[in-house]
Amino acid sequence: MSRVIGRPREAAVPVRSEFGAAVVTAHGVSVSLGGTQIVSGVDFTVRAGEMLAIIGPNGAGKSTLLGALAGDHAYGGSIMLDGREVSAWSTRELALRRSVLRQSNTLSFPFNVVDVVKMGRAPWRSITTVAEDDRIIAQELLRSDTFRFAERAFTSLSGGEGARVSLARAMTQRTGVLLLDEPTAALDINYQEQVLAVARHYARQGNGVVVVLHDLAAAAAYADRVLLLAEGGMRAFGTPREVLTAQALSEVYGHPVRVLEDTDGTLMIVPVRFADEAPAPPSVPHDPHHHPDTEETT
């Protein structure tokens, strides 16, 4: 049976999880949107101190699964967040326990950058002091390299600048679980590495981080565990070395892939490139009723 978000009630303040404790547990998770099943049969656990990368080809169900973890989608099976079903938490209680960076971060009104980042502290209103909120906001503006244009309108920012501001907003929530949907998509290589390093550091502070990535090399370098999806189903879950094999990736992505090891032990995922020749077209199944000598030509 699908689950939906519970009714609002007085928010229960979260207690910090012990390092290594399960902060998100998914069992038999399925998600249907518009009458079509997008995700099915997914099982995994994220522990405090870990960073999980969700990977897979386009249409594999990565963002849909992340939306279910965030409480945005009704789901079948079980998703436990901080010891309770995601669907059982009120909206504010969810906001105190998980923060989300979605692919699309648009605003209808021209708020300036600092006001957008301040929105991340809204769930903590009346729980923490203004001084504590201001300290956290300033810290995340500096960490995301957005402090220098803090007074600019959010609507005037480039895609990369806006993505970093949205990350800062999510980070100011100071939740035990951070959910990131393709956080590096609009960034150059410098900021890509900075964002993933920040996410990994956040995990190392005793939080759980789940990130949807297309960059397989980044998943290998930064994630503690990897969940490989294909056609909505779970193909593999484990450490990068267990999941990121040439055979599995070549099969799932439909393209030959090499997995190499750098001198420092880092895995390098390299697609086989065809250079000047196009890849062979897919084979056509034999039709016993087809007779080439009688085929019409134009």
Element (DSSP H or E) covering residue 1: none
| pLDDT tens for each residue of 95-129 | 999 999 998 767 767 899 999 999 999 999 999 99
Contact status, residue 160 vs residue 186, Cβ threshold 8 Å: yes
User: What's the rounded Cα separation, in Å, for the pair 214 and 199?
Assistant: 16
Is 8 inside a domain boundary?
no
Give the dihedral sign, CA 97/176/243/184.
Answer: positive
At residue 15 the predicted structure's pLDDT band, cuts being 50, 70 and 90, is confident
Measured CA to CA, the distance from residue 226 to residue 192 in angstroms comes to: 18
Q: What is the pLDDT of residues 199-216, one digit of tens each?
A: 999 999 999 999 999 999
Alpha helices (H) in the chain, listed in sequence order? 62-70, 91-97, 113-118, 130-143, 159-172, 189-204, 216-222, 240-243, 246-253
3 domain residue, yes or no = no
Q: Does 243 fall in a domain?
A: yes
Reply yes or no on whether the pLDDT at 3 is more than 50: no
Query: Is residue 227 assigned to a domain?
Result: yes
Rg value, the chain, Cα: 22
* Mean per-residue pLDDT of the chain: 89
Q: What is the pTM of this model?
A: 0.86
In a domain, 13, yes or no: no
> The domain spanning residue 123 has which CATH number?
3.40.50.300
155 belongs to a structural domain: yes
**Quick check: is 17 in a domain?**
no
Query: How many whole angstroms separate alpha carbon 257 and alpha carbon 269?
Result: 7
In a domain, 15, yes or no: no
Quick one: angle between helices 189-204 and 159-172, nearest 10?
Answer: 10
Q: How many domains does the chain have?
A: 1
pLDDT over threshold 60, residue 293:
no
Sign of CA dihedral 289, 292, 295, 298: positive
User: Where in the sequence is the domain holding 209, given as residue range(s)?
Assistant: 22-294
Residue 1 reports pLDDT greater than 50? no
pLDDT of residue 274: 81
